[in-house]
């Protein structure tokens, strides 16, 4: 990512944690010794990778990122004054 301007490992880790906590990404394979972690974006389906992933393939996107969409704004109510009489 250095060629894209991302130089700090701390910045990359913070961005990754934010994407994971917001359900934009999911871990599809947990990395370890001599094995990279793999991630899937939740607005795409996960393809079958012939045993490469720790999760099953999906026919449709999980869509968990949708829970973070802002709610539509409420319409403004018209104020009506009442005359006491």
- The pLDDT score that the predictor gives to residue 69 is 67
Question: In the block, which residue shows the tokens 């894209």?
Answer: 4
Domain boundaries, the chain: 2-68
pLDDT digits 0-9 by tens, 46-79: 888 888 888 888 887 777 777 776 767 778 878 7
| Beta-carbon-side half-sphere exposure of residue 7 (alpha carbons within 13 Å) | 1
Phi, psi angles (nearest 5°) of residue 28: -100, -20
pTM of the predicted model, to two decimals?
0.65
- The pLDDT score that the predictor gives to residue 78 is 80
């Amino acid at each position: 990512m250095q060629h894209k301007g991302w130089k700090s490992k701390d910045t990359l880790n913070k961005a990754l944690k934010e994407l994971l906590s917001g359900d934009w990404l999911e871990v599809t394979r947990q990395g370890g010794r001599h094995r990279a972690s793999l991630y899937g974006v939740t607005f795409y389906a996960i393809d079958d990778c012939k045993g490469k992933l720790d999760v099953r393939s999906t026919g449709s996107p999980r869509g968990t990122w949708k829970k973070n969409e802002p709610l539509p704004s409420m319409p403004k109510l018209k104020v009506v004054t009442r005359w006491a009489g």
